[in-house]
Structure 1
Amino acid sequence: MHIHPLVTDTETLAALCARLAKSDFIAVDTEFMRENTYWPELCLVQIADTNEAAAIDPLAPGLDLTPMLDLLVDNEDVLKVVHAGGQDIEIIYNLTQTTPHPLFDTQIAAMALGMGEQVGYSNLIESMTGVKLDKGARFTDWSRRPLDKRQIDYAIGDVTHLVTVFPRMLEKLRKTGRGAWLDQEMERISDPANYVNDPDLAWQRVKVASRKPEVLGRLKAIAGFREREARRKNLPRGRLIKDETIADLAVHPPRAQADLAKVRGLAPSWAGNEIGARLMGAIEGAAPLVEAEMPPREDRRPGLGKEGALVADLLKLLLKVRARDADVAPRLIARGDELDALAAGQRQNLSMMEGWRFDVFGRDALALVEGRLAFSVQSGKMVMSEL
């Protein structure tokens, strides 16, 4: 495989992408920094097919990334291969308002091959090739220039190894007949809706003990304010206001802007500046959270009584057994909220009730909740039997 020097000009990038556009698949990875900004700062893009590999420098003066972005999001003929690609996809979404497609995530594929739920890149490569990766450059400052040879070699290795591993995984999936198992998951990670960061939903990430609608309404307003201000200033949201400060403001709202000087976690200047005034406007304009938005109680699952919760726990046990039998990660078969829904009586719109998931797990899960399946222990081993 030919390894190119660092790509820093648009002409070289365009020629590279024109060649890669003729490939059946390309491996893609990114290096970025987000410690000091709201938006992740793209610092390096690594890309490869079976013939060549290159690192692209997005920080190079005058470099136009359009040829690369066109290849990633507009070219439907080339499969884009990533590993645990959520953050890589998020960065492309931020640049283009859409996502790479079609996609293949090797971490998700590993779940179908019995390699665990979140197998790391290094472990995947070592298990499939025997190569132990050098992790020394993993925590480098990718925004600093110039990048040295070790940094670039490390970064490009992430895609050259992926190019080697992907066909092997694909062959295993074909032999086991599990390739179709992944179609739904790959389409899910390609959905642009997953990467829209809605300020009106930011409050759901902040923990607060109260369940009073007035408190949660203020929480929603303050968290949304923080999200919009952090975007505007391109600052990490936690640097602007920490979660615990937001929770404190929601539970104990200040009566006047001058009171912001007494709030732990806020600079005293907020008591008289414009951002403090905007914060007070968000607090004073907050409406109580409507019933439809109220979160479920943490001490019980939505729609489940005590008996239903016990059934859901039995379903989790059954899922572990069936996932072990099929040698597939449980999370690829069913999520916890779906098990709760089945235990609560839902039968429609559950992925476990369709296709391969029904064959592997859903049929038995339905039999369990309808009283047609029993657990027992024989000779120290758990067995299940139809009633």
Structure 2
Amino acid sequence: MTGHLMITDSETLAAFCADICAAPFICVDTEFMRESTYYPELCLVQVATPERAAAIDPLADGIDLQPLLDLLVNNEDILKVFHAGGQDVEIIHNLTGKTPHPIFDTQVGAMALAQAEQLGYSNLVESWLGISLDKGARFTDWSRRPLDKRQIDYAIADVTHLAKIFPMMLDKLRATGRGHWLDEEMEKLADPANYALDPNDAWSRVKVQSRKPEVLGRLRAVAAWREREARSKNLPRGRIAKDETLAELAAHPPRTQDDLGKIRGLSSSWRNNDIGARLMQSLASAEPMDRHDLPSTSPRAPGLGKEGALVADLLKLLLKIRAREMNVAARLMARSDELELLAAGVRDGLAILTGWRFDIFGHDALELVEGRLGFTVKNGKLQMTRTAVAEDA
């Protein structure tokens, strides 16, 4: 690697992007602040190939990020490599309406190699390169300028190390024959639908005790109102209204706008201002939630029951056994909610019943649920065994 750049002008950025556009892959990371805004404030972008590395300053006066954004979302010939890149991809989607593609996430890749379910970057570097990272700059306020050399070196290291690790990881995945497992996972990460929250779906992230259709209908309305207000003002959702305040508004809606001043967590000025009027309008227009859209009564799965819960526990045991045998992180093969749905009798739309997951786990999971597979202990080790039902079939 020939050296690091700190890019603060459009001409240098355009030249750098032109220089790396033919690379087989680029490693990407971002530094951002989001404590006081709805949208994360992009403060730094780090990019590296095996030969070049740079930190791009999006806060530099007059800089045009378009060459970089084009490289990330419009160049299909170059693979974009991230580590735990969900928030990085979200930022790029906010700026462009698109997501980087094709994409590879080394945290997911590590799961296929049984390193950990959510391996942090410092542990990744330690395990692959034997390097202990300096964590002293991790609490930097990345929006403040100027950044000193230590901060810039810390930020760029996030991609220069990744540029060394990724080819090593790829070779190991190819050797194990598991590289194709990750294609579906990477397509999910790159799906723009993951980063475009519909305000009408915001209610599902708010905890509320009631399952009454009229209460949940009001919750959906006020959560959508909060989402729109937060976006328009670029403020965190909680600065508009806390979750518990939304739950209170849904359960005990005020009769008049003047009553908003009596609700804990709301400003008294909302009695007669525009934001209070918009809140009241959202409540007035709320309709009871359709019963088909009501959340499940059980946190496990619809209709699971006590017997189903026991079956789900057996499936989780099977998952642990199979993950140990395959030397794969269990979470990559199946999620707990999928196992609970399978135990409850659901068969459609489950990832574990399709593709490679079905081949290495889902088939046996189905056999267990349907009584054709059981557990046995041999030489002190728990193993799977075909049942008499399966043998007679």
TM-score where L is the length of structure 1:
0.97
Runs of at least 5 residues in structure 2 that lack an aligned partner in the other structure: 388-393
1:201-220 superposed matches below 5 A: 201-220=201-220
Partner of 2:111: 111
Specify the alignment match of 1:245 in structure 2: 245
- Counterpart residue type for residue 366 of structure 1: L
Q: Deviations over 1:47-84 (max 9, x none)?
A: 01011100000011111111000100010110000000
CA contact (8 A) 2:222 2:250 kept: yes
Q: What amino acid sits opposite 2:135 in the alignment?
A: K
The alpha carbon displacement at 1:89 in A equals 0.2
1:46 is paired with a residue whose SS is strand
Q: Which residue of the partner structure matches residue 178 of structure 1?
A: 178
Give the letter aligned to residue 88 of structure 2. D
2:390 alignment counterpart:
none
Task: State how far apart, in whole Å, the 1-side matches of 2:298 and 2:339 are.
Answer: 16
SS at match of 1:27: strand
**1:307-336 alpha-carbon deviations (Å, 9 max, x no partner):** 223212211110111011111111111122
Q: Please give the alpha-carbon distance, in whole angstroms, between the structure 2 residues aligned to 1:6 and 1:103.
A: 25
1:100-149 alpha-carbon deviations (Å, 9 max, x no partner): 00000000000000011100000010011110001111111111111111
Q: 2:8 maps to which residue?
A: 8
SS of 1:337's equivalent in the other structure is helix
Deviates more, 1:355-364 or 1:42-51: 355-364
Instruction: Report Cα offsets for 1:283-316 as digits up to 9, x if no partner.
Output: 1221111112100113552143332232122111
Tell me, yes or no, if structure 1 residue 345 matches structure 2 residue 348.
no
SS in 2 for 1:6: strand
The 3-state SS of whatever aligns with 1:35 is coil
- Could you tell me which residue of structure 1 aligns to residue 326 of structure 2? 326
CA–CA distance in structure 1, aligned partners of residues 300 and 37 of structure 2 = 37
Aligned-partner residue type, residue 331 of structure 1: R
Instruction: Please list every run of 5 or more consecutive structure 1 residues that lacks an aligned counterpart in the other structure.
Output: none
TM-score by length of 2: 0.96
**1:267 to 2:267 alignment:** yes
Letter in 2 for 1:340: E
Distance in 1 (CA, whole Å) between partners of 2:228 and 2:349 is 34
Residue 65 (structure 1) aligns with: 65
Contact 2:5 2:53 in 1 (8 A): no
**SS at the partner of 1:42?**
strand
In the TM superposition, structure 1's runs of 4+ consecutive aligned residues that sit over 6 Å from their partners are: none
Q: Secondary structure at the match of 2:26?
A: strand
TM-superposed CA distance for 1:337, in Å, is 2.8
Distance 1:299 1:18 in 2: 51
**Structure-2 residue corresponding to 1:315:** 315
Which residue in the other structure is 1:193 paired with? 193
Query: Is 2:358 aligned against 1:358?
Result: yes
Q: Match of 1:101?
A: 101
CA contact (8 A) 2:300 2:337 kept: no
Q: Deviations over 1:186-242 (max 9, x none)?
A: 111011111111100001111011111111111111110000001011111111111
Deviation per CA, 1:145-199: give whole Å up to 9, x if none: 1111111111000000000110110111011111011111011101111111110
**2:101 alignment partner, SS class:** coil
Q: Residue deviations 1:331-363, cap 9 Å, x none?
A: 111122322232233334432223332232122
Distance 2:271 2:354 in 1: 57
Counterpart residue identity of residue 132, structure 2: K
Task: Name the amino acid aligned to 2:150.
Answer: R
Once the two structures are overlaid, the 10-residue window that deviates more, 354-363 or 24-33, is 354-363
AA of the residue aligned to 1:188? K
Secondary structure at the counterpart of residue 6 of structure 2 = coil
Tell me the number of residue pairs that the alignment of Structure 1 and Structure 2 aligns. Answer: 387
Q: Confirm or deny: 8 A CA contact 2:301 2:341 kept in the other structure.
A: no
- Report the Cα distance in structure 2 between the residues aligned to 1:212 and 1:232, rounded to whole angstroms: 30
Look up the match of 2:123: 123
Structure 2 counterpart SS, 1:179: coil
Give yes or no for the alignment of 1:257 onto 2:257.
Answer: yes
Q: 1:35: Cα distance to partner?
A: 0.7
| 1:355–1:289 CA distance, 2 compared to 1 (3 A) | closer
Q: 1:300 to 1:154 in 2, by over 3 A?
A: closer
> Cα–Cα, structure 1 residues 70 and 300, in superposed 2: closer, same or farther, change >3 Å?
closer
Q: What SS class does the counterpart of residue 382 from structure 1 fall into?
A: strand
The amino acid across from 1:194 in the alignment is N
RMSD value, Cα? 1.3
